[in-house]
Amino acid sequence: MKRIIVPILALVLSFSLQAQPKAHEGSTDFQKTSQPAAVIDLPYAEATVEKAVEEYMSKKGVRSADSRDFKVYRGYKMRSSHDHNSDLYFKAERKSRRDKDMCTLYLVIGRNGEDVKARTDGGKASLDGAADLLDDMVATIEAYSLELQIKDQEEMVKKNQKKFDNLIEDSVDYVKKMKGLQDKLDQNRKDRDGQQTELKKQNDILGVLRDKRKS
């Protein structure tokens, strides 16, 4: 049995490793120019990825600013060996209309204060460390997405708990109403019995009176 389990666990592990998102070099449109970029495909909605990136960079002490279709984080040092800081331009795009929980994250990098769209050297050297940065972000993005799922599920539990509590309150009200109806039914039964006795009594009197009339 152990001989069977071990290969299965190894196979599952290999699939999980293969499924881990991995960044690679590519390109993207940047202010009407094509720029080299680090690219990674992620199984999360673009809004989730954008917020997770913001959280990651915030922990690094860098705040975001809007730059057209990108979020820019200025003055970040990509590697300790670099003699300059960099401006990081992030853009998350949904993979397709149908895949709302799949997006591609692009990272374009320029030297701090550089006009990226105007550079003439192609900018490929700027990607040093970019793929590593995206790969390092994956754990933060996963954790952020998990927290969102937990919050959403907590809200779902709260809604269902409230609905359940309302049903319990309704059942208590129904029991009270049923008891009230049962009391009325019991009283009605007593009244019927009393009325039946009274009816028989009055019919007997009527019979006696009619017999007198005949005599």
Which one, of 69, 98, 75, 99, lies nearest residue 87 by Cα?
Answer: 75
Nearest 5 degrees, angle CA 128-CA 133-CA 138? Answer: 150
First to last CA, the chain: 108
Provide the pLDDT for residue 3: 55
Residue 135 has pLDDT above 50, yes or no: yes
Mean pLDDT of 69-92: 91
In terms of C-beta density within 10 A (0-12 exposed, 13-18 middle, 19 or more buried), how is residue 33 classed? middle
Q: How confident is the model at residue 103 (pLDDT cuts 50, 70, 90)?
A: very high
Provide the pLDDT for residue 195: 96
Q: What is residue 31's three-state secondary structure?
A: coil
Provide the pLDDT for residue 31: 87
CA–CA separation, 157 and 165 (whole Å): 12
Mean pLDDT of 57-79: 91
- Which parts of 151-209 are beta strand (E)? none
Residue 170 has pLDDT above 70, yes or no: yes
Residue 9 has pLDDT above 50, yes or no: no
83 phi, psi to nearest 5 deg: -95, 15
Q: What is the mean pLDDT of the chain?
A: 88
Structural domains of the chain, with CATH? 21-154 (3.30.530)
Q: How confident is the model at residue 63 (pLDDT cuts 50, 70, 90)?
A: very high
